[in-house]
Structure 1
Amino acid sequence: MNKILLLSTLTSAALFAVAPVVKPAQERTFSQSQFMPDMSAIVDFSYVNHSISDADLQHLSIPGVTEGFYGSHDHGGNSESTYNANNGFNLNYVELVLSSNVDPYFSVDAVFHFSPEGVEVEEGYFTTTALENGFRIRGGKLLSEFGRINQQHHHFWDFGNAPLVNEAFFGTQGINELGMQLQWVAPTPMYLMLGAEALQGTNEAMFGNAQISDPNSPDPEDPTILGEEITAPSLFVGYVKSSFDVGSTTILPGLSLAQGSSRLDHFEDAEHANAFAGDSSVYGADLTVKHFFNSYSFLSWQSEWIMRNMDGTGYHNDAGTLQGSPLEKEQAGYYAQLVYAYDQNWRFGVRYDSIYLNDLTLDGISQTVVDPEAANPVSTSEDFDRYSVMSEYHLSEFSRIRLEYNHNTALYSEDGDRQNLDTVMLQFNLSIGAHAAHDF
């Protein structure tokens, strides 16, 4: 009922409260030239040296938080791997972008993601362009504007991989869903935007709405279903964002909330056959501060804090016996990065990532270790950290070369042994064609 009411509210806002006003023909900006969309292609290529072999990386995880952090993960027919995953050369992606006005009332953007694992529509959405009173509606497949970095494409990031907490909670692609988005910019002296999103809820790392079948069901054609059936959309996001200037410094704070159902099916995993059925809530706060020394030189601080609560039933399939117990997770982490642009060409940056909270409650009992059956059980009080430093050179606005070093202490083997990972990467990012400007 709550979902029906929320969707009804969004629909009403779209149809009535923010209905477009048809302007006189002389005031419309539509032109014949807009029939030809802007097109661009972006290539991201890297050479990577990990201190751990690719085969061993496949079996590392962040205990209690995420499994198989490196390598390709395939659940429910979708496959993805983290960027810069393999030793040696990596073609992270070729990104094809199309964008154009449709008419005076809509624009369309499409982003196609080509990688060695296949081709996918990363984004494909329409945006209203004629709504008044500060409203905007967007629909299709899109990156949620939860937090700061989730809405940004990889080539806009200041480092080669997503922050530890973002990738652990939301996966490599982040919250990238089918759905509708409604935003309103308030008529205030400083920028103030409120947004709401109703999303399908298929994110495999955190949410998911596919049915989970008992792997031991006697009739595979009519299996026992674990957890209640979910009706999409099952993920709802809200946020408030602001921006204001203090002299030559711009400050951008934000607060975000996401709530949805979780159906995480890992019964096909060889090492840890498990599943989770329940509900999840995610809370976020972000802050970006950018001080300009001149047109090209600036110092930028960016940070996000994210906490998630997962409440439901955890399932384990041990030797053909399915066991289910009430499971609660309260986990939190953050990142903070500082980037200095010396001039039009050179940039230098440092970043610290941490997942500092990993509280697990199984069957009503608070757990002191993540997996008691491991050879060396990992304490739930352990911090998972990563340290990064980078230097990049922009030959032009279309080409960038980045040298980056990461020291990752967040990964553990199946036996519970910490595996410190040192990574050096040389990354090339090049673009051709007309590409729309990024948000500040």
Structure 2
Amino acid sequence: MRFTCMAAAAFIASGAAYAQQPDTTRRPPVTKADSLRADSIAAADSIQLVRELERIGNEPRPVVGAQAGGTPGPQNPRLLPDISAIGDLIADFSPDGSTQESANRFDIREVEIAVQAAVDPYFRGDVILGLSDLEGIAIEEAYLTTLSLPNQFQIRGGRFHMPVGKQNTTHRAELHTIEYPYVIQRFLGAEGLKGTGLWVSRIFAPFGFFQELQLTVVDRFGGEAHGHEEEEGHVEPVAEEPANKRLSGLGYSARFRNYWDLSEATNIELSASAATGKQIQGVECFGFDDPGDPISCALPGDATGVNVRQSLVGADFTFRWRPLQQGLYKSFIFQSEYFRQLNDKTPPFRRNPGVFTVYDGPVRNFDGAYAFARYQVTRRAFVGGRFDWLRDPEADGETFSAASAYLTFFPSEFSKLVAGYERTFPSGDLKGLNRVLIQATFALGPHRPHPF
């Protein structure tokens, strides 16, 4: 009994002594900046852990035995490719009738099907098919990308959107606006400039900020070759030889990107682009010889056109702002691009005396630009506007301008609703044209990343 009392007294005394000692485990109050920094470190650790688990999961495993029936099955579900679809729906409420290419008020502009996966530790494969009522099924993109080249090099082979300017590498359904800016539509094409060939890029930072050089060579400049077929009464011109017969007739492009972080919330990107290649331009002749037969244009064989060089130079600027503490609710982006189209003013063909010759291609240079801004007002809503200006090559260089406004709502990252109003001002048309468009896009399956 005496021993028990003494032990109890000693325990109480030691507890009192412990209570009187300073609490060395107490830490100073945690500030919001420290909390954000800790969250960033935790997120980075989580990303690193996920990548490590994916790497381990992708390592080949020995087949222990066969499944029932004697046929071995896949040991890793990651070997299955990511399959996704993006639907692009349009409603056109313009007061003067539909302004869509299909002339429909309500239209499925396009559905994209994407199949993407790592082929092995060295390559990644991407296949994107476009489905539309006007074009049927088309290969939008299909390329193989290297994953493990040294010195930040990357090579891509196949069909892709060429890196000319900022917006061209973004698919139409994923734009901030409903359609490409008019300078891209007129100079590069309604769906952007694509090509089949090789893409080489390298990221480096010799001056303390990130830079990237992107070089491409493609089979044809300005899209795939056209056959000698009639389309709505128009016969596509045919040259003496394909433009890609000689290396000088291939399409080439280069883009040099520069990226700066101004602060933790703001960054800018300034880039320059150039592209060149040869395209077929039609030649028509009018005149008759003595028997009344049409006079030849002096083009070889059955040629009705010539391969003419066309080049493009441009620059783009992007400013982004997203505060750390309100990144989910507030952001701002300003983006602008300028292009100048350079055309051969002396087409390479000989004119016969006494023959009236009409060259269908452009013989002067054109330029154009746009400026776009978008502000995030809530977590899911954005307001934006764009101004377009160009010397329109489809109207012999007449001035074309347009102003548009957009309200965008994201129910989630897999769906988007956009309401847009646009007023265009073609040269000489003081009244202009009003357009009212509604766009709805949705993504099924794994969502592919947007170009940064």
**TM-score relative to the length of structure 2:** 0.69
CA distance in 1, matches of 2:430, 2:137: 35
1:259 aligns with 2:291: no
Match of residue 40, structure 1, among 67, 81, 84: 84
Letter in 2 for 1:328: V
Alpha-carbon offset, residue 29 of structure 1: 7.5
Match of residue 203, structure 1, among 208, 214, 222: 222
Partner of 1:7: none
What number of residue pairs does the alignment pair up? 344
Could you say what secondary structure the match of 1:34 adopts? Answer: helix
Partner of 1:385: 401
Partner of 2:435: 423
After superposition, the Cα gap between the structure-2 partners of 1:41 and 1:236, relative to the gap in structure 1 and judged at 3 Å, is: same
CA distance in 2, matches of 1:98, 1:226: 37
Match of residue 327, structure 2, among 285, 295, 309: 295
Letter in 1 for 2:218: L
Partner of 1:352: 387
CA root-mean-square deviation = 3.2
CA distance in 2, matches of 1:200, 1:224: 18
CA distance in 1, matches of 2:317, 2:131: 32
Letter in 2 for 1:181: W
Alpha-carbon offset, residue 226 of structure 1: 4.6
Partner of 1:231: 244
1:193 aligns with 2:212: yes
Q: Is the 8 A contact 1:197 1:238 kept in 2?
A: yes
Match of residue 444, structure 2, among 421, 427, 432: 432
Which range moved further: 108-117 or 348-357?
A: 348-357
Partner of 1:30: 58
CA distance in 2, matches of 1:228, 1:400: 46
Could you say what secondary structure the match of 2:426 adopts? Answer: coil
After superposition, the Cα gap between the structure-2 partners of 1:39 and 1:265, relative to the gap in structure 1 and judged at 3 Å, is: farther
Q: Is the 8 A contact 1:135 1:185 kept in 2?
A: yes
Match of residue 113, structure 1, among 122, 130, 133: 130
- Name stretches of at least 5 consecutive residues in structure 1 with no aligned partner: 1-25, 58-69, 72-84, 214-219, 268-273, 316-320, 361-368, 371-379
User: What pairs with 1:354-369 in structure 2 (closer than 5 Å)?
Assistant: 354-356=389-391
Q: Is the 8 A contact 1:400 1:430 kept in 2?
A: yes
Alpha-carbon offset, residue 230 of structure 1: 1.9
Q: Is the 8 A contact 1:331 1:357 kept in 2?
A: yes
Say which structure, 1 or 2, has more relative contact order (CA 8 Å, 6+ apart): 1
Match of residue 111, structure 2, among 88, 94, 97: 94
After superposition, the Cα gap between the structure-2 partners of 1:242 and 1:352, relative to the gap in structure 1 and judged at 3 Å, is: same
Letter in 1 for 2:347: T
* CA-to-aligned-CA distance 1:151-185 (integer Å, 9 cap, x gap): 00112211111100000111112111111000011
* CA-to-aligned-CA distance 1:285-317 (integer Å, 9 cap, x gap): 0011001132221110011000011114399xx
1:401 aligns with 2:433: no
Alpha-carbon offset, residue 44 of structure 1: 1.1
Could you say what secondary structure the match of 2:187 adopts? Answer: helix
- Between Structure 1 and Structure 2, the one with more strand by share is 1
Q: Is the 8 A contact 1:97 1:435 kept in 2?
A: no
CA distance in 2, matches of 1:165, 1:424: 20
CA distance in 1, matches of 2:448, 2:238: 46
CA distance in 1, matches of 2:429, 2:335: 32
Letter in 2 for 1:199: V
Could you say what secondary structure the match of 1:231 adopts? Answer: helix
CA distance in 2, matches of 1:171, 1:106: 30
Partner of 1:271: none
Which range moved further: 226-235 or 93-102?
A: 226-235
* CA-to-aligned-CA distance 1:317-376 (integer Å, 9 cap, x gap): xxxx87245962210000100000123200000000000487x9xxxxxxxx94xxxxxx
1:285 aligns with 2:285: no
Q: Is the 8 A contact 1:99 1:110 kept in 2?
A: yes
CA distance in 2, matches of 1:288, 1:156: 17
Alpha-carbon offset, residue 91 of structure 1: 0.5
Partner of 2:162: 144
- Name stretches of at least 5 consecutive residues in structure 2 with no aligned partner: 1-53, 60-75, 230-234, 285-303, 350-354
Alpha-carbon offset, residue 246 of structure 1: 0.6
CA distance in 2, matches of 1:328, 1:142: 29
Q: Is the 8 A contact 1:125 1:139 kept in 2?
A: yes
Letter in 2 for 1:231: N
After superposition, the Cα gap between the structure-2 partners of 1:36 and 1:422, relative to the gap in structure 1 and judged at 3 Å, is: same
After superposition, the Cα gap between the structure-2 partners of 1:322 and 1:235, relative to the gap in structure 1 and judged at 3 Å, is: farther
CA distance in 2, matches of 1:44, 1:309: 33
Letter in 2 for 1:200: D
After superposition, the Cα gap between the structure-2 partners of 1:27 and 1:402, relative to the gap in structure 1 and judged at 3 Å, is: closer
Match of residue 339, structure 2, among 306, 317, 330: 306
1:153 aligns with 2:153: no
Give the fraction of aligned pairs with identical amino acids, expressed as a percent: 23
After superposition, the Cα gap between the structure-2 partners of 1:53 and 1:350, relative to the gap in structure 1 and judged at 3 Å, is: same
- Between Structure 1 and Structure 2, the one with more helix by share is 2
Alpha-carbon offset, residue 121 of structure 1: 1.0
User: What pairs with 1:312-351 in structure 2 (closer than 5 Å)?
Assistant: 312-313=346-347, 323-324=357-358, 328-351=363-386
CA distance in 2, matches of 1:224, 1:129: 41
Partner of 1:53: 97
CA distance in 1, matches of 2:317, 2:157: 27
CA distance in 1, matches of 2:414, 2:376: 17
Point out the structure with max Rg over C-alpha.
2
Alpha-carbon offset, residue 86 of structure 1: 3.2
* CA-to-aligned-CA distance 1:167-220 (integer Å, 9 cap, x gap): 01111121111110000111433211111100111525xxx766889xxxxxx9
Q: Is the 8 A contact 2:238 2:280 kept in 1?
A: no
Letter in 1 for 2:190: T
